[in-house]
Amino acid sequence: MKKNLLFFCLLFLSASLTGCWNLKEPNQRAFIIGVGMDMTEDKELEISSEIAVPAGLGSSQVTGAGKKNTFTVASAKGKDFMDAGQHLQAELSRSLFYAHRQTILIGHRMAEEGLGKYLDMIFRNPKSELRSVILVVKDGTAKEVIKAEPTFDPFISTTLGSQQYALGMKPYYYRMLLCDAFSEGTQPIVPAITADPSRGYIYAGSAILDKDHGIKLVGYLDPEESMYNNWMMGKQKNFTFTTLIGKENETISLAVQSLKHRTQIKIIKHQPQIYISLHGTGSIVENNSSLDPSKDDDLKIIQTKLSQEAEEKVRKLIDKAQHQYKIDIFGIGEQVHMQHPEIWKTLKPHWHETFPELPITVSVHLRYRDPGQTNSSL
């Protein structure tokens, strides 16, 4: 018994003496808040890191000459992420620390070249933050966005994540990109922004990436198309839909809070038939028409018009995906895999050729829950 007790005491002492031998103090680290990845004209990878400046965080409310920067941006080039990181480290007196990274920005040219071979380090590094929000910079570079001065937050990286919440979207994290890239039949759809000299950036919709060809950029969806795609994929929490109604093109706006989606796959003669159903319930937040939602006949007109217009826009989005981009951006392949795994085995090898020819039926039902403060227009 005494021998066992002595053994555990020695084990405890050895652990306490050696457990923190490589601990670094906060003032020895450079905390990276955001990372931008660009491809140069010479096909080199350029990394731009937004690094927190602790001395400036306490003075964020100070204006004029006394104000200090809350961040600095350092850039370096290299053959891959680690090579560029090594060059970046040579410019700094503190050790790079990635565990607090909030955002990853991908430049347009970088996305066109393909992300596949450059994301290994982010996935492999145990200190890498997989909950970083990832975005593509449409027609621009990540470097010019990550250098922008934010309006409300101390870091532009924090702002980029917060905006997705403000738009009613579920944030798209790096781990979600990995899940989509390794899934059976879902192509990654990544939020996109454009650089703006005065505001830093503007939300631009979504970037379509082809995981079967190196996670390369295929094209973009505009903000409205992105909202419908997010709805179909369960990534949209709310939105406001406005329609023209009546002979004089009056308007009604519905703030939709409850969004539901369902994709049903039926196999007919060994071929999949796709049925997509979208449901939304919300409140009328503006009524500039002569219709009165408290009246059954007028309510039916309003709900039918809202549903028909939304349904038409979803059909146009599906047609664009099937015939312009010819890529499954709705996760239909994943649904076939889940609902009919045996059929999927035969479809998977040539899904790129099968998807554009799929018969897809869509139904959209928008309903109102609350007429708002008034029924008819003021």
Q: Can you give the pLDDT at residue 349?
A: 92
Q: Which of 203, 221, 239 is the last residue of a domain?
A: 221
DSSP string covering 317-356, please? HHHIIIIII-S--S-HHHHHHHH-HHHHHHHGGGHHHHGG
pLDDT at 119 over 60: yes
Query: CA-CA distance, 285 to 82, in Å (whole number)?
Result: 51
Residue 160 sits in the same domain as residue 262: no
The three-class DSSP label of residue 104 is strand
Residue 184 sits in the same domain as residue 248: no
Residue 134 sits in the same domain as residue 182: yes
Short-list 339, 314, 344, CA closest to 264: 339
Q: Could you tell me the CATH number of the domain that includes residue 344?
A: 3.30.300.210
Residue 201 sits in the same domain as residue 290: no
Residue 19 lies in a domain: no
Chain segment 247-288, per-residue pLDDT in tens: 788 999 999 988 999 999 999 988 899 999 999 999 999 999
Residue 158 sits in the same domain as residue 40: yes
Residue 171 sits in the same domain as residue 44: yes
Our CA angle for 104, 140, 200, nearest 5°, is: 70
As to burial, measured by CB atoms within 10 angstroms (0-12 exposed, 13-18 middle, 19+ buried), residue 195 is buried
Question: Beta strands 271-287 and 360-370: pairing type?
Answer: parallel
Residue 297 sits in the same domain as residue 342: yes
Q: Can you give the pLDDT at residue 326?
A: 94
Q: Is residue 69 within 8 Å of residue 110, measured between CB atoms?
A: no
Residue 363 sits in the same domain as residue 250: yes
Our CA angle for 289, 363, 176, nearest 5°, is: 105
Residue 5 lies in a domain: no
pLDDT at 371 over 90: no
User: What percent of the chain is predicted at pLDDT more than 90?
Assistant: 51
Greater confidence (199 vs 263) lies with 263
Residue 17 lies in a domain: no
Mean pLDDT score, 299-303:
92
Residue 35 sits in the same domain as residue 136: yes
Residue 230 sits in the same domain as residue 202: no
Mean pLDDT score, 81-110:
86
- Give CA separation, 69 vs 58, 66, 73, 109, in Å: 10, 10, 11, 30
Least confident of 23-27, 39-43, 136-140: 23-27
Residue 7 lies in a domain: no
- Give CA separation, 70 vs 156, 317, 335, 340, in Å: 10, 42, 45, 53
Residue type present at position 344:
W
DSSP string covering 201-264, please? EEEEEEEEEEGGGTSEEEEEE-HHHHHHHHHHHT-B--EEEEEEETTTTEEEEEEEEEEEEEEE
Our CA angle for 208, 160, 110, nearest 5°, is: 40
Residue 237 sits in the same domain as residue 109: no
Q: Which of 221, 248, 266 is the last residue of a domain?
A: 221
As to burial, measured by CB atoms within 10 angstroms (0-12 exposed, 13-18 middle, 19+ buried), residue 247 is exposed
**Residue 297: pLDDT band with limits 50, 70, 90:** very high
On the CB side of 375, CA atoms within 13 Å amount to 7
Q: Can you give the pLDDT at residue 21?
A: 45
Chain segment 153-177, per-residue pLDDT in tens: 888 888 888 889 999 999 999 889 9
Residue 115 lies in a domain: yes
CA–chain centroid gap for 363, Å, is: 26
pLDDT at 22 over 60: no
Mean pLDDT score, 222-247:
93
Range of the domain at 262: 223-378
Residue 203 sits in the same domain as residue 54: yes
For the chain, the domain total comes to 2
Short-list 6, 17, 82, 96, CA closest to 50: 96
Residue type present at position 305:
K
Q: Which of 206, 221, 236 is the last residue of a domain?
A: 221
